[in-house]
Structures are given as C-alpha cells and as structure tokens.
Chains A and B, each alone.
Chain A
Amino acid sequence: MKAAIIETVIKIAITLFWVMNLGSLLTWVERKQSAVMQDRIGANRANIGPFRAIGLFQIAADSLKLIFKEDWIPPGGNKFLHTLAPIISFFFVLMSFAMIPIGNTITIGNYTVNLVIVNSSVSLLIVFALMSLGIYGIVFAGYASNNNYSLLGSLRGSAQMFSYEITFGATIIGLLLIFQTFNIQEIVMKQQGSLWGFYPKWGIFLQPLGFILFLTAGLAETKRNPFDIPEGEAEIVGYFIEYSGLKWAVFQLVDFLESVLIGALATVLFLGGWQVPFLMADGFHFGSYLFSLSPTWVTVLQIAVFFIKLSFFLWFFMLIRWSLPRFRYDQLMKLGWKMMLPLSLLNILLTAVILLIWDSYHG
C-alpha cells in the first residue's frame, strides 16, 4: 500500500514535470516556429549576459512579467467565480494527463510499475468527461467578468465545444469497436504488431477517416486558430478579456496544454503511443531476424518514441495554427454539424460492417 502511494506520487511528479515544461516550451515554439515559417527570426532578445540561447529565456521573461502584473478583478464581476474559472480550466486539463500512458509496464527489481497514473478500465471515458468539464472554466470566466464581450466569447466557446464534442466522441467509437476496450494502456498494447506484415498495426491505418475527423475535432477543442471562434482577436477578444497577470497566463497555458493533450490522445489512440514498429519486449523483429535489446533500452526507446510522436503532433498543430485563416461562426457550425458529424457516423457504420464481415470469415 505504502509502495503504491510512493509510486503514484513519483508518477504524478514526472507527469507534471513533462506536461508543464512542454506547455511552457510551446509558448517559445509558437513564437519561433511561426517566425521561421514566415521568414522571420522570432523572439531572440531576452538574454542572461551574453547568452541568448535562441530566445529560450523569453519564457522566463514572459512569466516574470506576468507574475508581477496587477491582478485585476472587474468591479461588477463575481470575484469568487472570476478567480475560480482559470483554476477549473487548468485543473481539468491537468487531470486528463493522468490517463495518458508514456510507456509500457516496467519491472524494477521485483516491483512492476505501469507507466500511467490511472490505469482504469474506463480511462478514455474519464479523459473525455474531464475535457467536457473544462468548458465550465470558459463559462465561468465569461459570466464572472461582467463584460458583454466576455460573455459572447464564452457563449461562442461553449457552443463550439459542445458541437465538436459530439464528433470528437463519435470518431473514436470506430476505434473502440476494433480494440474493444476503454483502457488507454490496453488500446496502446493492442496496437502492437503489424498489418499484413509491413504496416504497423496503428489506429491511423485501421481508421484513416476516423483519424482525420479526430484531429479536426481535436483542433476545435483546443480553441486555437482555425477554430479560434471564442477568441476571435478581430471581433471580440474573448472570454478572458477581463483577465490580467497570472490568471490570464493560466488561460493561455491551458490552451497550450490542451494542444499537448490532443496531441497525446492522437498519439496513443492513432499512432500507437509508445509502440515502436517491429519492436517487441525482447528487441526488434524483422521477419525471422531478431535484433535483441535489453529491457531497459526497450523502455527508453518506447518513452522516447512516445515523445517524438507527440512532438510531431505539436509541430503539426502549430503549422495548422499559423497557416490557416479562422473560420467564420456559421462556417464552423456548418462544418461541425453538417459535415463532420455525418462523416463520423458513417465511419462508425463502415467500421461495424467491415468488422462484421471480417469476423464472419475469421471466426
């Protein structure tokens, strides 16, 4: 019992470490990647002595500035809810990372550790529930600010998230039909092996349509640029218009953490999570040839591959965010309800029919 508590605390510390660091690193990535894409240099002036470290000190400079800014609560607003809103957003997105496995079960001495904090049989459902609850942060922020623009932003945000939540949930049903489990760690484990010998048996190859729909709906969930309706810099500044200082920084960080979460979910559901192609527990299998590796190296490789896949998604989200213009509100709703939802239902139907035929042939 004691060992289990210590194990969980260590895992929570590790998860917080990589999640928070990745989230704040994304503020730098956003500036630098957009700059490089647009033939600019990007923020590179923040320095300690002669060291500029390609602008990495900008993260510290930004956070220091935001910490020392005045924390202002609008006079007509609800002070309690105004303070609660960023906490709620932050809490639910951080909680979701407890269900993300970064590696396989490992054995230290005679003690086995599963590299996921909550290895529940319904962990995927918990993630989706927590992501839906995250809407409350937006709603409270808009309501408590006593500002019409905030309220409009929060209404838009909740409308968008509700619409895309349905598609978001429906896209993974196809995947669940194939893997027949809600446990994320088990879903990752079932993506081991290969399809017809050469494709890795990843969700993206089993569910190509589902993957595209999942990624699009996931982008809408992160509320970043092509689906930037809640903020809409040119129209209303958004639900956090009355926020300043650290509370605003928390909202901004939640945006980035949601990108990380969607990237991590896409990785574990569709890109095989920590699975490395051809890598089994004892080494690489190429046909009958075996390149054996020690269990330590296998674990290191698996965790590294998880983060490489995650970084690819983060890079891709940034690429989309800095390439595509924002949808108009009606276009967003049309895309969500008239195109994505029918397509995701079609995806479920197709998967079910194919599975039925497959099962009748293979017993």
Chain B
Amino acid sequence: MAELKVKVMKAPAPQKRSLWEQIYLPEIMRGLSVTAKHFFKNLGIHIFRLFGFKPKGRGSVTYQYPEERRPFSPRVRSLHRLTKREDGSPRCVACMMCETICPAKCIYIVGTDHPDPNIEKRPLSFDIDIGVCVFCGLCVEACPEDAIRMDTGIFEIAAFSREGMIYHIKDLLR
C-alpha cells in the first residue's frame, strides 16, 4: 500500500481593504463608471446607426438570431447527410460500422445486395433518430467509404412528434 501524502493547504488570508475601499462610495462610483461607459459607448453606436452612419463596433455582443446568424467553425457537427456516387445512389455500403460505433444507438441500417457486382451491398433503409443522436461525430469517423458526413450546417431540427425526429434515407440524401 502506497503511503498517502496529504498536502495541507493554508486558507488564503482575508483580503486587506484600504481605507479608500472601506469608505465604499468611491469604489461604487468606480463600478458605476464602468457600466456607464458601456452605456454611453453603446448608446452612441446605436444612435449613429439610427441616422445611417456606419460607426466602428457593433454596440452589442449578441446576434439577432433569425435575421443574423452566428458564423460557425467549418468543423462544426450539424445534421447528418449521406454522400452520393456519380449516379446519385448512396455511397453507403451498409457495413454497419456507424451503427456499431454509435454510442446513442440511434442509427438503424437494413442492408441488401447491390446490383453492381463490384459493390458488395447497399442500404435498403438508413434511419437516424435525431432525437436520440448526441452529435458526437463517431459515425463520420468510423465510415470507411466517406458516406456519412455532418457538414450540412443545419442545426434547427424540430418536429411535432418523436416519429418526426427519425430521418429516413431520402431525408439524409440531399
């Protein structure tokens, strides 16, 4: 059994306040001046914009969502899509790698024989239950054929029922 070493930490000494800080009012005025500075700077920007000028700075750090979208990183993981061959059929060979690795177990594939003898199989159905998906991206990593990607940029996924959250192969082949 290894010897346990306990390092005893000293409690930090209470912060010493100078008399100036203990008077409290000057420090409050300092705090108010910070917020007031933000107020007047942003107000100036908004007023300039109202009169058609193009001031430097945005005046806010928020995005006006439906009209204005936040730029995403190119690596962002969004709604899945199935890539296609030149003839428009899915690249997927129904190898079940993504279904196996999926930690949420939300991919359901039914494979069948491909008419082309050079290709082993094709998916008869390829369903992803987006309501269960955790967007980990492991299916994309696991795919040997580069058949599934998460680069659509769609993240507004909503449905009125749980069934509506299941995306079928025709939804994913876009």
Contact = CB atoms under 8 A, between A and B. Distances in A.
Contact of A323 (B31, B42, B62, B64): B31
B60 to A, nearest CB: 5
A50 to B, nearest CB: 14
B39 A36 contact: yes
A341 to B, nearest CB: 16
B46 interface: yes
A208 to B, nearest CB: 11
A36 B36 contact: no
B97 to A, nearest CB: 45
B28 A40 contact: no
B42 A39 contact: yes
A323 B28 CA distance: 9
Interface residues of B, number: 17
B48 to A, nearest CB: 13
A36 B32 contact: no
A35 B62 CA distance: 10
A39 B62 contact: yes
Contacts of A39: 38, 42, 59-62
A37 interface: yes
B119 interface: no
Interface in A29-54: 33, 35-41
B43 interface: yes
B73 interface: no
B35 interface: yes
Contact of B39 (A41, A212, A319, A320): A319
Given A319-B32, A323-B32, A324-B28, A40 B38 contact: no
B40 to A, nearest CB: 9
A41 B64 contact: yes
A37 B32 CA distance: 10
Interface of A: 33, 35-41, 212, 319-320, 322-324
Interface of B: 25, 28, 31-32, 34-36, 38-39, 42-43, 46, 59-62, 64
**CB-based closest 10 A-B pairs:** A323-B35, A39-B61, A37-B39, A36-B42, A37-B35, A41-B60, A40-B62, A39-B60, A323-B32, A37-B38
14 contacts: A36-B43, A36-B46, A37-B35, A37-B36, A37-B39, A37-B42, A39-B42, A39-B61, A39-B62, A41-B59, A41-B60, A322-B35, A323-B31, A323-B35
